[in-house]
Amino acid sequence: MGGRTDPLHGHPVHGAGLGLRRAFAAAAAEQPPAEVDFWEIAPENWIGVGGRWGRLLRGLTERFPFVCHGLSLSIGSPAPLDLDFVRKIKDFLDEHRIRAYTEHLSFCSDDGHLYDLMPIPFTDEAVAHVVRRIRHVQDILERRIALENVSYYAAPGQRLSELEFIDAVLREADCDLLLDVNNIHVNSINHGYDANAFLDGLPGERVLYGHIAGHDEEAPDLRVDTHGADVIEPVWGLLERAYRRFGVFPTLLERDFNIPPLEQLTQEVRRISALQAEHRPRNANARRGRLAYA
């Protein structure tokens, strides 16, 4: 089964990335920022899109590495999987030579806002249900997928800890982890746990790539994962801790609201690269250089 394709690090892309949004897609296509090593898109926003936007995407996917982060697979939902939709995803991934497909370890509410993703009950039955569905999706896509640790605002019917739940799903489905450090921070405040301990408990060997983002502070004990603000220092600290603990992995910035000009976003992308350079073993840089000129 396809999946990790970078022979050096076992990752499908490398470096620092940015979630592509329509607000700056034309600017990115006209003058691609040198800071961005790879891009991420939600396939739902681009499948079946032709005309000017379709050409713009084609031009970018032909030139740069892309990964896909889906919004509506609803992997935890009790409703049947939408197999036609999964087949459309496969065609899209193949057509644009997308390096990886990831989704949320949750299911969508009707209006599908990122911060309205519903939690899956942390139970053994839910693990078995989600694992069956992930395997089915991986079979259709003919690739491993990665699932993201999500932010959630209620955890009904909890029997397992969140860490036990994530670990069981990834292990039994044999899929990878999209590690979102902002979600860990948001959950740690909303649910009163230790973000460092949570991070340390994740199966680091399964991290395919990472997300970093900003969020909104509604109250001292309530954060909302809007991706509508700059990344805050404690979240940068978590990313640094993750690199120290698990080694450097490709990481991208997500921004969905209050989107500033591209030049401002690329400053945060540059900070990801700087952290990666700081934590990458020196011989890995040397090897990467040799490979680049081979």
Rule CB under 5 A: which residues touch Fe ion? 180, 211
Q: Which residue is nearest to Fe ion (CB)?
A: 211
- CB-nearer residue toward Fe ion: 56 or 246: 246
User: What count of residues does the chain have?
Assistant: 294
Q: HSE-up of 275 (CA within 13 Å, CB side)? A: 25
- CB-nearer residue toward Fe ion: 65 or 214: 214
- CB-nearer residue toward Fe ion: 56 or 225: 225
**Close Cβ partners of 277 (under 8 Å, ≥ 6 residues apart):** 285
Strands 216-219 and 222-224: antiparallel
Give dist(CA 34, CA 56) in Å, integer: 18
- CB-nearer residue toward Fe ion: 28 or 213: 213
- Least Å from the CB of residue 17 to Fe ion: 12
- CB-nearer residue toward Fe ion: 14 or 211: 211
- Least Å from the CB of residue 227 to Fe ion: 8
- Least Å from the CB of residue 7 to Fe ion: 26
What count of other Cβ atoms lies within 10 Å of the Cβ of residue 189? 17
Residue 143 DSSP one-character state = B
- Least Å from the CB of residue 226 to Fe ion: 12
Give dist(CA 14, CA 5) in Å, integer: 10
- Least Å from the CB of residue 289 to Fe ion: 31
> 220-235 burial, b for 16+ CB within 10 Å, e for fewer?
eeebebbbbeebeeeb
